Amino acid sequence: MPERKSFRKKVFVYFITVFIVFIVAVLFFQLQREKSYKVNQLENTLENATEITRNYIEHYRLIEQNNLAKADTLNYLIGDPNLRITIIARNGNVLYDSFVSDVATMENHLQRPEIQKALYTGSGTNVRRSSTTNQEFYYFAKYYDGYFVRSAIIYDIKVENLLKAERYFIIFIVIIFLLIWLLVDFFTRKLAVSITKLKDFAIRAGRNEPIDTDIDFPGNELGEIGSQIVKIYGNLRKTHTDLEMEKERFFNHMNILNEGISFFSSQKEKILANSHFIQYISVISHTSTVSAEHIFTIPEFKKINNFLKNYLNSDIEFPKNELPQIEYTISKNERYFKLLCIIFADKSFEILITDITRPERRRLLKQQLTSNIAHELKTPLASIKGYLETIMNNPGIDAEKQKYFISRAHSQTERLNLLLNDISLLNNIEDAGELFEIKPVVVKNIVRDVVENLENRLAVKNMKCKLYIDEGVVVKGNDSLLSSVFQNLIENSINYAGENVTIEIKNYLEDNKYHYFSYSDDGIGIPEEHLQRIFERFYRIDSGRMRETGGTGLGLSIVKNAIQLHKGNITVRNKPEGGIEFLFTLAKR
Ligand code: ADP
């Protein structure tokens, strides 16, 4: 992995550079120290030589005697053949030079830097290449009364000489260097482990790849930081996953809800909406809407709009448990919706649309039913009241008439009883269907019992009832409800079909789920325009006459509801050859 190398290399190069700079600085300092030490030493030697020369000149009065050739013996005194002695007159003429035999050929030395310095300060030094010997010399000159004595020695303070002299020191430095090299290598390696692991982790986290949070970091500070970061990341990731799951659950929940629900920001931008929401606002607005924000332009949502305007544009603060809300019902295209809007503390809000068409219709139906029932009860009650008042108001009425009125009143109470029984049965089927005991029922037995009970009434009308039901036809249901299905159908034929009528009841088909039945008579039938409404409650064909004589108008309602409770269905038609036929199914299980 190139990145791994590069990081380690960088740290390594950095440390080593710092170290080398340090070593070079130390060496440089040492060199300077050595140099000044050597120069001092040189100067001492040269000054000594100058002093010895001067003493020699003074002692033997060489200048006065003009016998400077004698100075050659100085060499023995000084004992260093490399040391060059020059004696120069005040005017710069060279009087004697230990390296040159014919001083007359030498140029004037007054302008030599060391001579100039000696002239003004008493002594002077200079390093330069000698034009006479072409060697690098260190010159030292001193001015005495009337002449200069100059000594010079070959100047050879060189780095390589120094390095030679400092060999042990340099070996020591190299060993230290190698040791530090190893140490730096060791530490950068350790550092690199943590950093590399952290980097790999960061890259994987950045790419959202699955990460094993069980990374083994070294036990140093960086490792500690690394494992803390990974731990924090692990917690974060877990919270994130939990949150995602919650969110998904919430989304799923939103989508299986029957309500349309949408959340909006305080700027009225949609945050979230389920499919029902879009579907409902499409129904309400009568357009194929795709955006939830559309509701703010629909007239039916005006109340919500005004409500939002009041709260969103104001600085009203409200406690969390008393969130402002508005709720109302609208009806559109024969459907009913309940709209609810709740504003949250951060001024975002939720709009809920509930389709209440079914319960609303049920409510209206019940309302209508109640008024129908009241109306239906009024008729027999008024009759009873009328008969009783006649008897009370006419005390002299003869016994025969009295008996007649009483029997009429009695038959009206019978009717009332019948009506109340039917209403109660219908209510039970509709609202408490689960209370009917369900078990396998042999249909043929049920029908036979009903026919037997009605035999007398059938005979009166000279009617026949033919059964074509197989013994094996068994449905899962409630026997008393199934009895009332056939009882109502046969009674209707007796009441409305006419005389000399033949009834046929048969099972004509079966499939996996159902047994199919046909009930028919060959009576007068029902006029086509009434056919679709005869299952409605209290619907009668010749209502005025029937109310007096016939049933309650609930018979076929009871039949239809009872069949639906048995997971079946019923339809009706007039037979072409005359009479009526009901086709219905009953579930096998
Ligand atoms: P009810 O309980 O008063 O008999 P139903 O709901 O059973 O009322 O019947 C509704 C109407 O349908 C009756 O008023 C009657 O006019 C008509 N009807 C029902 N069955 C027959 C039939 N077999 N032949 C002719 N008309 C019928």
Q: Are 477 and 566 in contact (CB under 8 A)?
A: yes
Domain C-terminal end among 204, 234, 264: 234
One digit per residue, pLDDT tens: the chain, 589 residues?
A: 445 556 677 777 887 788 888 878 887 888 788 778 888 888 898 899 899 999 988 888 888 888 777 778 877 777 777 888 999 999 999 988 888 888 888 889 999 999 999 999 999 999 888 777 777 888 999 999 889 999 998 877 665 666 666 678 778 878 888 888 888 788 777 777 778 888 888 888 888 887 777 778 777 787 888 888 888 888 888 999 999 999 899 888 888 888 999 999 999 999 989 989 998 998 898 888 778 888 899 999 999 999 999 888 887 777 777 889 999 999 888 889 999 999 998 889 999 999 999 888 888 888 888 888 888 889 889 999 999 999 999 988 898 999 999 999 999 999 899 889 988 998 888 888 888 999 999 999 999 999 999 999 999 999 999 999 999 999 999 999 999 999 999 999 999 999 999 999 999 999 999 999 999 999 999 999 999 899 998 888 875 544 455 678 899 999 999 999 999 999 999 999 999 999 999 999 7
The 10 Å Cβ neighbour count of residue 289 is 20
What's the CA-to-centroid distance between 536 and ligand 1, angstroms? 11
Tokens at residue 88, please? 């120069």
**Do 551 and 491 meet the contact criterion of CB atoms below 8 Å apart?**
yes
Containing 224, the helix (H) or strand (E) segment is helix 221-256
Tell whether ligand 1 has an atom less than 6 A from the beta carbon of residue 423: no
Q: Are residues 290 and 395 in the same domain?
A: no
Flag whether 80 is in a domain. Answer: yes
CA angle 262, 264, 269 (to 5 degrees): 120
Counting atoms of ligand 1 from 1, which one is nearest the CA of 540?
A: 14
Q: What does the alpha-carbon distance between residue 18 and residue 371 come to, in Å, rounded to a whole number?
A: 104
Going from the Cα of 388 to the center of ligand 1, the distance in angstroms, rounded, reads 30
Ligand 1 contacts CB of residue 556 (under 6 A): yes
- Cβ proximity of 490 and 465 under 8 Å: yes
Q: Whose CA is nearest to atom 13 of ligand 1?
A: 540
Do 35 and 131 lie in one domain? The reply is: yes
In this structure, the answer to whether residues 445 and 424 fall within a common structural domain is: no
Q: What is the 3-state secondary structure (H, E, C) of 422-488?
A: HHHHHHHHHHCHHHCCCEEEEHHHHHHHHHHHCHHHHHHCCCEEEEECCCCCEEEECHHHHHHHHHH
**Residue 451 shares a structural domain with residue 494:** yes
Q: Is 135 within 8 Å of 129 (Cβ atoms)?
A: yes
- Whether 227 and 280 share a structural domain: no
Residues 141 and 185 in one domain: no
Judge whether 98 and 72 are in contact, CB under 8 Å: yes
- The Cα-based distances of 308 to 4, 305, 331, 349, 353 in angstroms read 59, 5, 22, 9, 16
298-332 confidence digits (pLDDT tens): 999 999 999 999 888 887 777 777 889 999 999 88
Distance 525 CA to ligand 1 centre (A): 9
Nearest-CA residue for atom 19 of ligand 1: 492
Question: Is residue 418 lining ligand 1, measured as CB closer than 6 Å?
Answer: no
> 460 exposed, middle or buried (CB, 10 Å; 0-12, 13-18, 19+)?
exposed
Residue 411 CA to ligand 1 centre (angstroms): 20
Q: Vertex 465, ends 463 and 466: CA angle to 5°?
A: 140
Q: Which residue has the tokens 């014919």?
A: 102
534, 549, 582: residue to mutate for ligand 1 pocket, most atoms within 8 A of CB: 534
554 C-beta closer than 6 A to ligand 1: yes
For 274, the enclosing helix (H) or strand (E) is none
Helix or strand (DSSP H, E) at 272: strand 270-273
Cβ 273 vs Cβ 261: under 8 Å: yes
Domain boundary among 160, 182, 197: 160
Beta carbon of 198 within 6 Å of any ligand 1 atom: no
CA of 496 to the centre of ligand 1 (A): 6
What is d(CA 145, CA 588) in angstroms, rounded to the nearest whole number? Answer: 152
Q: Which residue has the tokens 């209370």?
A: 435
**How far from 563 is each of 361, 571, 583, CA to CA, in Å?**
22, 11, 11
Domain shared by 572 and 483, yes or no: yes
Whole-structure pTM value: 0.52
Distance CA 299, CA 317 (A): 28
Q: What is the number of structural domains in the chain?
A: 5
Whether residues 9 and 153 fall in one domain: yes
User: Is 546 close to ligand 1, i.e. is its CB under 6 Å away?
Assistant: yes
Secondary structure (3-state) at 108: coil
Residue of 526, 559, 583 best suited for mutating to test ligand 1, as the one with most atoms within 8 Å of CB: 526
325 lies in which domain range?
256-355
Q: Which residue has the tokens 């000698």?
A: 130
Q: State the CATH number of the domain containing residue 469.
A: 3.30.565.10
Ligand 1 binding pocket includes 489 (Cβ within 6 Å) = no
251: in domain:
no
Is residue 123 helix, strand or coil? strand
Q: Which of 479, 221, 259 is closest to 355 using CA atoms?
A: 259
Strand order in the sheet with 335-343: 270-273, 260-264, 349-355, 335-343, 325-332
| CATH code of the domain containing 123 | 3.30.450.20
